[in-house]
Structure 1
Amino acid sequence: MPTYVQHAVLGRIPDVFNAEAIWQTPGLALFSRRPLLRDLLERCPREHKGRAATRCFSHVTLMLPQEEVDDDYHLSRGSRARDLAQTLAALHQKDFGDLLGSDQVRYDVVGDASLAPDEIEVRFGHAVYLPAPDEKILYNVTASRDSAIWHTVCPIYPNQRLALIGGEGGVDVQGWPFGPDAALLIINDGPDAPPTVQIRPKGAFTCTYDPRSGYYTVKAPDSQRLLLKIARTSALPARAGMQSEAANTTPPPHAVWQSRSGANAKAIDLTAIPAAASHKPINRPGESDATYAPVSQQRVSLVALALPRLSRYRDTGAQALELPFNRAMALSADGSPAISLIVDAADDLYACTAEGRQRIEAPATFSPVDTRTLRLLPAAPEMADRYRAMVCLAQPISTGVASGARFTFGRNSPMLAALRLLDSPRFLKRANSAGDSSTSSADRIGLSRNAFSFEAVSKGYTIARQSATQALYHLDDKLQFVASVGDAPYLLPHGHHLVAGHYVLRFEA
């Protein structure tokens, strides 16, 4: 594997802001001197032909002791660091001008708390890029272990060719799971081409891209994984051709039924004919030919949970509604959850995992484990005054209902009680002054005692609102808003959804 980042620590430098002491040792003792920055650049050219260098690196990052950088910023507003960068750039241009071509020499000075007072670290190489003063960011790279908590990794600029993540000399990633010998290489072919992600060393891991979620999944043989998202910034939007490139891909031809030809067309299989009725065995006494038909039964499924705007319920003392999901992505308050989705009293949404807590916005997708996914959908504008978002369950929960009878759904109704997953005080966090939280079910937020009644009919379900204060919303089979349900009887088609309280119910045939 080539060396993408050259880095070395230079020691015994009394004044870390002295450019000449960093660049080259004075005197002519060439064989006894210790290598400094000029020697490193000379020994590691960007391109060479045979043993002769034809091009050198032009972007260099200097890491100084953090305390020295802080003192310079406090006392002189960083003037010593700026002078150091300018002086080194001038020395670089003077000594390597014939190997630079049209490249601009750029230096950057940053602090590093791990360095000793007389040490500096230098970094340069194929994957070291310093942007121009007016250059805008093309991509922002973030990483996650659970798809919920994302950590900033690095930006990528339009003229930047490579970015090295992890590995020796690469950008550090919080929670990096692959050890020091593995790295991710991002190749940028410019604003008009999508970036490419490669694994180093090749073949050591698997890397797949999920266009629906918008991130790469890098997985090791021991099932350790890292999620990598490369998001284009709004400052440099993609051209229309790039956005439609995937849509222009020709799909594989579909299989079609075709007539048989030749001898196969004449080879007709004879159809087996049942025996005549007279050959049927005679029924014994007490036996009957009557057919047993099952009673017609429809199903109602809980497919999503609607997160309310708790700011509407400040007088109840509700501070947060927390939905913990286990590794099977089922709602569970037992044990340590794989991910929890939270809405607080300010109507802000958060995702909480073992990696931490981070604010989120809908729409979003979460895959804390490989086999299950949670989708967070924004509430429709017509519902936004009451709801913040909807969480689609990874596995809907269903129950059967008999036709020809009218049932009631609400806090006081036993019908569909198995679907009221939030009928517990464990999910609702309340202020201490609001009373005893142990008796306050989360269902009291937005769900009446008798919310609505329903009856299965031939064309769907008839819905009748039972409480004048109960908000009911009709969503179609794709969870798109259709209408608000009022006091008049309402026909809900098969396969459509009804939102009542926290619950998004699908009424199936």
Structure 2
Amino acid sequence: MPVYVQHETLNRVSDVFNAEAIWQAPGLALFNRRPLLRDLLERAPREQRGRAATRCFSHVTLVLPQDEVDDDRHLTRGARVRDLAQTLQALHQKDFGDLLGSDEVRYHVLGAEHLEPGHVEVKFGHAVYLPAPGEQVHYTVSVSRDSAIWQPVCPVYPNQRLTVLGRDAASATHAVPGWPFEAHGAILLINDGPDAPLELQVRPKDAFECSFDAAAGYYTIRAKQDEATGTQPRLLLKIAQNPAVALPRAPLAPAVTPALRAPAVWKSRDRTLDDAELTAVPAVHRARGKAEAALPLDATYAPVARQRVALAAIALPRLSRYRDTGAAAVEFGIDRQLAAGALENDCLIGFAVDEADEVHVITKDGRQRIAVPNRFAPLDGVDLRVLAPAPAMADRCSAIVCLPDAPGLPVPAGAPIAFGRGAPALAGLRVLDAATCLRGADGVHLGGADRLGLSRNALSLEATPEGYRVTRLAPTQALYHLDEQLGLVAAIEAATPEAPYLVPNGHHVVAGHYVLRVEA
């Protein structure tokens, strides 16, 4: 792989603000001298014909010990840093003027804690760019490992042709936080001007797979699977365009060069019988296959109850309604087996709503407020949607979090079964009943969240061939009827034992925090 960033450390610099001491050694000491900045620029030209340089680099970043930079800011308000950059710029223009053409010489000086006194780092190269004064950011690049927590990486300017992202800033334009790949890997962003879309490539090409999810608006970069561990690290990368900068004629789109392996477009995974949740005993389906072939032809089958109720989603409450209770947050997590429950440190992803009714997503990389609606892919093949509630539900609900793997419980046919805080039959679906799901303003756990909005006996469900008969058991319990796609059908008003409300199979009932799908 070519060297995109020339990165060197100059040692034993007596005065790190002395431009001449950084630029060139004094006198005619040509032997055994330390290479300084002028020598480095000569040895690594931007372009050359044979051995003769025809063009040199013009943008250089200098990194000084942080204490020196801080002292200069305290004592001279940064005057020595400014003088250093201006003097080096003049020396650069004087010695390499014939190799610059129309390029403008730019220097940028900053500090770093890791440098010892007398050491100066210099960076220049094809992927080092310093913006002009007032130059607007064209693109903003951010990354995520779970599609939930996005961390900013860098800006890309209109005239910045090449940007290299990697593990550290020594060999890349910018270091990527949480870089999951080997140190030699790199992501290249190529900007060929306002008439071309930003192009993304990965290096080495045979070590990565790259695809673009147009619906989600980000790239997925995966390392080839490690045969020893069976793992396949991935990184999600999003490129946002600054609307204030003139749009390119070609729309921003994934531009993977033919040299790359053709990206595999994400598709919805077809659900097998194991995942179809068709019956109350999915183990029957898993047992088929070899066992099915062994059954005699005259086998007798016993009837199996097929009715069940599944927890399809969590309705995060509008917590501002419950300020008098001292509740400051309701939160829950989804573990790596896709089971919903209390928010634990090793959860795959978590969600929370605060007293200002703001919804947050939580992963091991941190916590961020999110817009609603939204969707996440914390793992390959896992699509997790966060829906906005219908206007009729908005006074009670902040967001509806669809569970990627809906747990279910069987229900008897022809007999009503109660659901609520005091009803044991479907208690396994009340995943927010854990003691850590409700927190107060001081961070203290207040117990289960079910006491907010769910009565002890909220409703009863009775499976019938036509659907489920719903009866309200508590007069103050709010109930809603949603269709198969979780769209609002109606608020359930009258639902008495004499005149129950009928919910078709496959539809949903919302009670408290729980969106229950009735199945048959």
TM-score (norm 2): 0.78
Structure 1 portions without partners, runs of 5+: 247-290
Which of these residues, 242, 246, 271, is aligned with residue 251 of structure 2?
A: 242
Residue of structure 2 equivalent to 1:338:
348
Distance 1:157 1:7 in 2: 22
1:201 aligns with: 204
Structure 1 counterpart of 2:487, one-letter code: Q
**Offset of 1:130 from its aligned partner?**
1.2
Correspondent of 1:442 among 443, 449, 455:
449
Q: Secondary structure at the match of 2:516?
A: strand
Deviations 1:286-343 (A, max 9, x none): xxxxx99969954432211111232322222323322122211212447832333233
Partner of 1:419: 429
> 1:71 is matched with which residue?
71
Q: Identify if the C-alpha distance between structure 1 residues 445 and 230 changes in structure 2 by more than 3 Å, giving closer, same or farther.
A: same
Query: How far does the alpha carbon of each residue in 1:214-260 deviate from its partner, in whole angstroms, 9 at most, with x for none?
Result: 242322533252413223144348669627999xxxxxxxxxxxxxx
What is the root-mean-square deviation in Å for CA atoms of aligned residues? 3.3
- Opposite residue 38 of structure 1, the aligned amino acid is R
The answer as to whether partners of 1:446 and 1:501 remain within 8 angstroms in 2 is yes
Partner Cα distance (1:243, 1:219) in 2: 25
Query: Match of 1:484, as an amino acid?
Result: A
Could you tell me which runs of 5 or more consecutive residues in structure 2 were left unpaired when the two chains were aligned.
256-299
Q: Which residue of 1 aligns with 2:319?
A: 310
Q: 3-state DSSP class of the match of 1:422?
A: helix
Matched residues in 1 for 2:87 and 2:248: separation?
A: 40
Which residue in 2 is equivalent to 1:189? 192
Residue type of the partner of 1:324?
Answer: G
Matched, 1:378 2:388: yes
What is the identity, as a one-letter code, of the residue corresponding to 1:329?
L
Q: Which amino acid aligns with 1:304?
A: A
Q: Say if 1:143 and 1:226, in contact at 8 Å, map to a contact too.
A: no
Matched position secondary structure for 1:164? strand
Q: What do residues 414-465 of structure 1 show as CA deviations (whole Å, max 9, x unaligned)?
A: 453332222332422346899x94xx43211111223334455666545454
1:327-361 residue CA offsets vs partner (Å, 9 max, x unmatched): 11212447832333233334343333333444444
Correspondence 1:312-461 to 2 at 5 A = 312-333=321-342, 336-401=346-411, 406-430=416-440, 437=446, 440-455=447-462, 460-461=467-468
- Between the aligned partners of 1:193 and 1:184, the Cα distance in structure 2 is 19
**1:472 correspondence with 2:476:** no
3-state SS of the aligned residue for 1:81? helix
> Structure 1 vs Structure 2: percent identity of aligned residues?
58
Distance in 2, matches of 1:320 and 1:85, equals 51
Q: Summarize the Cα distance change of 1:319–1:106 in structure 2 as closer, same or farther, 3 Å threshold.
A: same
CA distance in 1 between counterparts of 2:332 and 2:350 reads: 5
Any idea what SS the aligned residue of 2:398 has? strand
* DSSP-derived class of the 2:73 partner: helix
SS in 1 for 2:207: coil
Q: Does 1:501 align with 2:512?
A: yes
Correspondences of 1:158-237 after superposition (within 5 Å): 158-166=158-166, 168-170=170-172, 171-191=174-194, 193-213=196-216, 214-222=218-226, 223=231, 225-235=233-243, 236=245
Displacement of 1:32: 4.8
> 1:241/1:400 Cα in 2 relative to 1: closer, same or farther (>3 Å)?
farther
Asked if the contact 1:474/1:497 (under 8 Å) is kept, the reply is: yes
TM-score by length of 1: 0.80
Q: Distance in 2 between matches of 1:34 and 1:295?
A: 84
> Paired residue for 2:111?
111
* Greater gyration radius: 1
Q: Which amino acid aligns with 2:94?
A: K
Give aligned pairs, total. 462
Shift of 1:407: 4.5
Moved more, 153-162 or 39-48: 153-162
- Distance change (3 Å), C-alpha of 1:378 and 1:16: farther
Instruction: Quickly say closer, same or farther: Cα 1:132–1:382, change in 2 above 3 A.
Output: farther
Distance 1:381 1:7, change over 3 A: farther
* Secondary structure of residue in 2 paired with 1:176: coil
Supply the distance in 1 between the matched residues of 2:326 and 2:436 (Cα, whole angstroms). Answer: 15
Instruction: In structure 2, give the amino acid aligned to 1:165.
Output: L
